[in-house]
Amino acid sequence: MNTIEEKCKELLLQEGISLNSNIDFNVNGKIHTLSFEYIIKTFMQASEESQLVFMTALQKAIRAKEMGADKFFEGMGQLLLMTHLSKNIEV
């Protein structure tokens, strides 16, 4: 039986999308590069319900050709960076 992470990776591979595809984010002049595989692995650390939501959203993004996987992973990467950066803010 495949895990949700494996199913997400299979979805990309079926569409001919490399897990090593990267998205660059410019945060205050510093470039952060996140791979699709890293984004998947990071979201798979969440609850099983959250993993299922991630997979369902990925499936819909792939089916919606105008949005596509790139936009999906761009949004998910931004969410990861915002979460990470907000944890590191000094008050």
* Tokens linked to 16: 């001919």
With a CB cutoff of 8 Å and minimum separation 6, the contacts of 53 are: none
Give the pTM.
Answer: 0.86
How many CB atoms are located within 10 Å of the residue 56 CB? 10
With a CB cutoff of 8 Å and minimum separation 6, the contacts of 51 are: 4, 5, 43, 44
Q: What is the mean pLDDT of residues 71-89?
A: 84
Q: What is the mean pLDDT of residues 7-14?
A: 95
Half-sphere exposure of 4 (CA within 13 A, CB side): 20
- Is residue 59 domain-resident? yes
Place 91 in a pLDDT band, splitting at 50, 70 and 90. very low
- Parent domain of 26: 4-85
Place 67 in a pLDDT band, splitting at 50, 70 and 90. low
Q: What is the tally of structural domains in the chain? A: 1
- Is residue 65 domain-resident? yes
